[in-house]
Amino acid sequence: MNAPAITVLMPVHNGAAYLKESVDSILAQTYTDFELLVIDDGSTDVSPSILSACNDRRLRVERFNTKRGIVAALNRGLALAQGAYIARMDADDIAEPGRLADQFAFMEANPDVGALGTDITPIGEVVSPSWIRYFDAENLRISLLFENPLCHPTVILRRSALASAGGAYPDNSPHAEEYALWIRLSAHAKLVNLPQPLLRYRMHAGQISRQKSVVQSHSIDRLVGAQLDALGLPAGARDLRLHHTLANGFFPAFGLSQALRKWCDSLITANARARLYPADILFAQLEARRASALARHDTQLRAMPFPRRLQWRVTSSISLLGRADPR
């Protein structure tokens, strides 16, 4: 039997609540030349029974006897995958019927693209707007300086580009392994997002980003810091707080506008020396990020009770005045 064009890789651990709906959304795709490879990471609920009840020949299941973690599950899946493309999928999300068809067509037409994500429709317990805001390769490469700009379960990877980036998810960035992979991959191929919302992304209390937020934040700090080092702009603790404010961080200090302007100027100056990013696109993105950060902070501060708002301002202002990071 010929290998499928796409391997849809879905790790699952105790995902019974949404697993069938997620699997069904893949098996109902309009594009049919794929395998669905599910890595069961030691589930102790009825997830194995849900999977065994599915008799679609495109479904393959690999089971760990004990939980080994998301990175081990993903990398085992990559080792077993047969497709020239690897499409990620999570066990609690829902793929729109045309997702694989649209992504396959784009990847075939754009051989310089190594990873292709899509916009999303958030669903679930607490619904917020989509956070996908960049779609072209240059803006996405710049946005890696600040955050993970791709929604992991929307991404389809070109296997050859993945091989150039090490062929596996890094195991040294706990709960930010995909962000680490995108950074590696961006040195070898383009990253792009489709503007169509091709995945219904479920938000709920059991998500890793909520349960492991502290560990994830440490990994993100390290990944962002390494990129700033490569730009020739080492960042101390205060600098990282300002830098994260240009993503989605919160730093309600007096003089925030001037501090953000100074930090943006430092990024522009560092890039003029290193020449890593197109100067005009970097400048435009920084201006947009600064304006968005200031508007977000104004909204959040206004919503705070006055005593807490005052405490934030005093504490943060002391931090700004007393911790000058060396350049």
What are the pLDDT digits (tens) for 46-73? Answer: 999 999 999 999 999 999 999 999 999 9
- Distance between CA 26 and CA 24 in Å, rounded? 5
Q: For residue 124, is pLDDT > 70?
A: yes
- Distance between CA 17 and CA 176 in Å, rounded? 24
- pTM for the complete prediction? 0.91
Spatial strand order of the sheet with 85-88 comes to 59-64, 34-41, 6-12, 85-88, 156-158, 113-124, 190-203, 94-95
φ/ψ of 307, rounded to 5, equals: -60, -40
For residue 148, with 0-12 CB atoms within 10 Å meaning exposed, 13-18 middle and 19 or more buried, which class applies? Answer: buried
**Average pLDDT of 179-196?**
98
SS3 of 85, please? Answer: strand
SS3 of 62, please? Answer: strand
Tell me the domain boundaries of the chain: 6-206, 231-319
- Distance between CA 78 and CA 82 in Å, rounded? 9
Q: For residue 325, is pLDDT > 70?
A: no
Q: What is the pLDDT of residue 327?
A: 36
Q: 166-175, 201-210, 211-220: lowest mean pLDDT where? A: 201-210
Q: What is the pLDDT of residue 229?
A: 96
Q: CA of 16: how far to CAs of 92, 158, 217, in Å? A: 9, 30, 28
Angle at 131 between CA 128 and CA 136, to 5 degrees: 155
At 138, the amino acid letter reads E
Angle at 174 between CA 24 and CA 165, to 5 degrees: 80
CA-based nearest residue to 232, from 285, 277, 179, 172 = 277
At 184, the amino acid letter reads R
**Average pLDDT of 16-38?**
98
* CATH classification code of 6-206: 3.90.550.10
Which residues partner with 157 through β-bridges? Answer: 86, 115
Q: 77-86, 88-97, 99-108, 315-324: lowest mean pLDDT where? A: 315-324
**Average pLDDT of 223-236?**
94
**Average pLDDT of 95-107?**
98
Q: For residue 134, is pLDDT > 50?
A: yes
Q: For residue 323, is pLDDT > 50?
A: no
Q: What confidence category does residue 249 fall into, taking pLDDT thresholds of 50, 70 and 90?
A: confident
Q: For residue 322, is pLDDT > 50?
A: no
SS3 of 195, please? Answer: strand
**Average pLDDT of 281-305?**
90
Q: What confidence category does residue 1 fall into, taking pLDDT thresholds of 50, 70 and 90?
A: low
Q: What confidence category does residue 326 fall into, taking pLDDT thresholds of 50, 70 and 90?
A: very low
Q: What is the pLDDT of residue 286?
A: 98
SS3 of 23, please? Answer: helix
Which residues neighbour 40 within 8 Å (Cβ) at sequence distance 6 or greater?
12, 13, 47, 48, 51, 61, 62, 63, 64
Q: For residue 215, is pLDDT > 70?
A: yes
